[in-house]
Amino acid sequence: MGVVRLGYIHVRVTDIEEAKKHYCQTVGFRLVKDEGKRVFLKGWDEWEHHSVVLEEGGIGVIKLGYKVAKADDLEVIEAKAKTFGVAMERMSAGDNLETADGLRITLPSTHTIELYHNMTVTGSDVGRINPDVFPRDLVGIGAPRIDHALLGCDNVNETEKFLIDVFDFYQVERLVPDLEHQDVSLATWLSSGNRGHDLALIQGEGYSGKLHHFAFQLQEWSDILHAGQIMSMDDVPIEMGPTQHGITRGKTIYYYDPSGNRNEVFADGYTAQRDRPTIIWTADHLAKGINYVNRTLAEAFTTVLT
């Protein structure tokens, strides 16, 4: 089975109180553990203990946790990763709050990925038995869960090969310079299940180790508009949208959290399949791929990573 999904993301924020207010009141995540300068949050439809960790001091991403289906998967991935010679260590139960042991890997892009197979299940807000379709006390956007992350990378080809060979991701879409160079990835969208992407990479000098954005999952186009309405009420700076991506066909808004980390609300496009031929975007169509409707890109979109 291997990797199942993005389970948690741990990011830096400049002001923990402002961040808490934004992620809880605007995004609608729930505070599950408050350690003062570090807080743990979850969405209403997430059953594990937490999915977002905010830590005061700077901006950017500290690490991402991807859940694997079985404990055995960790050994399989560990063996494969050894052949790549990347930095790797076993992590102990308790290294992460309410999370069992796992594997900590430094990607060729220098990002820290933690693979885990067991986090305490605390249940979703609607429960498991005859659940209602959403909780009555949603706050703000009321995002049900996290979705995916897009990471910066100096060499996309190198890191995507690692993710495909070791994590068993498959490539759903790829941005290439032109049709004569379809083997050169400028950006890549990788999936482990049937989502358009669970992890994506974008190339740029000095981008390794950086975060382009992480996303919250919404269900429908109308949810995206609703999110935009809430953002306007709360003076959240929007970079793009509401619009649709050509790439993944997802519906989207890009915006910034109070520290300047880029976030996205994202509602799925098509169902991805392992045997679906990889979709190719040429660089001259990048604006259409990212912003299908308006076909414009804000200057910051491809230049600012945190």
Q: Is 111 a catalytic residue?
A: no
Does residue 299 touch another protein according to CB under 8 A? Answer: yes
Does residue 261 touch another protein according to CB under 8 A? Answer: yes
Indicate the burial class of 37 (C-beta count within 10 angstroms; 0-12, 13-18, 19 or more): exposed
Nearer to another protein, 14 or 171 (CB): 14
Q: Cβ of residue 48: shortest distance to another protein, in angstroms?
A: 28
Q: Which of these is catalytic: 213, 239, 255, 256?
A: 213
Which residue of 76, 164, 287, 300 would you call a contact of another protein, by CB under 8 A?
300
Q: How far apart are CA 277 and CA 300, in angstroms?
A: 31
Q: How far apart are CA 253 and CA 232, in angstroms?
A: 12
Nearer to another protein, 251 or 262 (CB): 262
The site that binds another protein (CB under 8 A) totals a number of residues, namely: 21
Nearer to another protein, 65 or 209 (CB): 209
Q: What angle do CA 245, 249, 255 make, to 5 degrees?
A: 40
Using an 8 Å Cβ cutoff, are 43 and 24 in contact? no
Which residue of 114, 125, 147, 257 would you call a contact of another protein, by CB under 8 A?
257
Nearer to another protein, 162 or 214 (CB): 214
Site string for another protein, 25-64 (x = CB under 8 A): ---------------------------------xxx----
Q: Which residues of 49-83 are buried (b: 16+ CB within 10 A; e: fewer)?
A: bbbbbbbbeeebbbbbbbbbeeeebbeebbeebee
Does residue 237 touch another protein according to CB under 8 A? Answer: yes
Residue type, 102: G
Does residue 160 touch another protein according to CB under 8 A? Answer: no
Does residue 264 touch another protein according to CB under 8 A? Answer: no
Does residue 18 touch another protein according to CB under 8 A? Answer: yes
Does residue 8 touch another protein according to CB under 8 A? Answer: no
Q: Which of these is catalytic: 22, 49, 148, 212?
A: 148
Q: How far apart are CA 119 and CA 95, in angstroms?
A: 12
Look up residue 237 and give its DSSP letter: P
The token pair at 75 is: 């050994």
Q: Is 148 a catalytic residue?
A: yes
Using an 8 Å Cβ cutoff, are 52 and 9 in contact? yes
Q: How far apart are CA 71 and CA 227, in angstroms?
A: 37
Does residue 91 touch another protein according to CB under 8 A? Answer: no
What are the residues binding another protein (CB under 8 A)?
14-15, 18, 58-60, 237, 239, 256-262, 298-300, 303-304, 306
- Just list the catalytic residues: 148, 197, 213, 245, 254, 264
